[in-house]
Amino acid sequence: MAEPHDLTALEQAAAIAGGELSSVELVEHHLRRVDALGDTVGAFVTVTPERARAAARAADAAPVAQRGPLHGVPTALKDLTLTAGVRTTFGSAAFADFVPPVDADVVRFMAAAGLVSLGKTTTSELGCSLYSEGLVAPPARNPWDLAYTAGGSSGGAAAAVAAGLVPVAQGSDGGGSLRIPASLCGLVGYKPSRGLVSGGPLGFGAFGLPTNGPIGRTVADVAALLDVLAQPVPGEPYLPPAAPAGGHLAAARAAAPGRLRIGRFTAPMLADTPVHPDCVAAVDRAAALLTAAGHEVVEVDPPLGPRAWPLFETVWYVLALAPVPPERERELLPLTRYLRARGAAVGAATLMATLGELQNQVRLGARRTAGCDLLLCPTLAAPQAPVGWFAEGDPAGDFDRQRRFSPYCAIFNLTGEPSVSLPVGRTAAGLPVGALLTGRYGEDARLLAVAAQVEHASDGWDQHPAIWRAVGSANVNTSGVGRPMS
């Protein structure tokens, strides 16, 4: 018998539409799981049960004609995302009591689509690192093995989805922050094309690196949430690409992108570092699945190399300079203080020259891979990392370990191209390993269609860790709803 959390996000919405379940029942079921497992996996900074119950009641009362594909489904919001009336700490003790007066655009869109947020998920401090181990919540742990990190900066979102606390979640990605946790936790993490999803209402666009995006267990769920998030908003710094006919979910469901030329490489781009055989094996499997789906997979050189690292590093230092009350700077973590000190030393002329040279590098990389429709590479250079491993020693060593662990993802934040981590690999111990597929700018629908092909060719990858069965459904009967757990 399937439990409600066994169902995908789209199946949960279908169960609501068909009358088998209500949004209230789903929310209560998932809140029980959050209560039992949330701190164990470090998924949430703040849980909002009463707000969630009220939103679920409103979802159940909404006219059928106003319901979209994810109506009534439980979800969660990253703690970097402004949420009016809800404590939003940005992963930092310096903001432990901050309550925003406004919603981020994506929060408004999700509420309007009938999604029900259960709370704010754990993130790294100010989104500065690829692991989520701060002072305002327990560390985000990988539900597949609690000794390992769930990654960052959307680590809590990944932990929540992989542990079955919510079926799909909102996150953001400025240098791999959705794709890294997805690879570690066996999920689909999607970074949209630059400008497709609003970063408003506050901020300047952060040089085009970060974007909001979805994380989930299946390509279709991720595509459905992307359709909710990808709404044009006046005044955004980057124009959105044209919307696909029928939406991203339709493209994922059709899974018919035509025959494509896919460039494969495994050489790391931001560091000269060894790549673990399990990460190469995940790329090999993805390449085999793509070939079986009819695509041509060819070896190519990476679009960029380690020469880009000092440039990216400089921009990352500057992005760490988010406004912090001066009297609370001392509450920041050592890594954050280190990054901010380096950023404060970057002059305007240096920053402008760095941004110009980065764009030159992006142009050269685009010309180098112009003959390819998609690129395929590892998501990470190593399959997993223990909790606490990055922060050992001094902050400079911490930052360098992060670069060597993740030398691929951030390049596609520089280019603005859509990029997705797919859970195609496993270590000998059965832990997830992702492979990264990246499309041309604005071709999100095509990338999702190919990702869905890989999912189908692999016979699906919606698999779950042992912790998945740790909490039952109490009085909710789901007999005949959805499909059995894989």
229 token code pair: 């998030």
Tell me how far apart the alpha carbons of residues 64 and 423 are, in angstroms, rounded to a whole number: 35
> Please, what is the angle between helix 23-41 and helix 155-162, to 10°?
120
Q: In what order do the strands lie in the sheet with 211-216?
A: 168-173, 211-216, 188-191, 419-426, 432-439, 374-378, 261-264, 296-299
Counting every residue written for the chain, the total comes to: 486
| Spatial CA neighbour of 208 closest among 224, 192, 223 | 192
H helices of 88-214, where? Answer: 105-112, 155-162, 179-185
The CA radius of gyration of the chain, in Å to the nearest whole number, is: 21
* Tokens 């912790």 -> residue: 467
Catalytic residue annotation:
78, 153, 177
Strands annotated E in 85-230: 116-121, 141-142, 145-149, 168-173, 188-191, 211-216
193 token code pair: 């094309």
* Tokens 């071709």 -> residue: 443
Strands annotated E in 276-402: 296-299, 374-378
Sign of torsion over alpha carbons 314, 204, 89, 25: negative
